[in-house]
Amino acid sequence: MARLRLLPGELVEVKDEREIMATLDDKGTLDGLLFAPEMRKYCGKRLKVLKRVNKLIMEGVGRLQRIKDVVILEGAICTGEYHGGCQKSCPLLWKEVWLRRIESNER
């Protein structure tokens, strides 16, 4: 599948859950990135790309990890409801393969 190379401000649609699940391994991850239960409610929704993510600090080990084809979407925040009521409100990380670019004529 071709890389989307999404940029901030672009409009995307989150693919349906069935399509996303087909990309995941037995741990519910793609390239080590978890498709968290909180992300399901965004399936089928249209959101704007807030920013690209190229690296992050792995919690628990404090190691810098480079990642590819990952974006943050505006307003897509982890509620913590599936993580013991965590209140950090972390932005959810999205693999581009889980998204579909919305062309200007589709808006």
Task: Look up the pTM and report it.
Answer: 0.89
64: number of Cβ within 10 Å = 9
Do you know the residue count of the chain? 107
CB 103 within 8 A of CB 15: no
Report the distance separating Cα 88 and Cα 52, nearest Å: 20
Q: What is the pLDDT of residues 10-55, one digit of tens each?
A: 999 999 999 999 999 999 999 989 999 999 999 999 999 999 999 9
Q: What is the pLDDT of residues 63-97, one digit of tens each?
A: 898 999 999 999 999 988 877 888 888 899 999 99
Report the distance separating Cα 22 and Cα 9, nearest Å: 27
Report the distance separating Cα 93 and Cα 98, nearest Å: 11
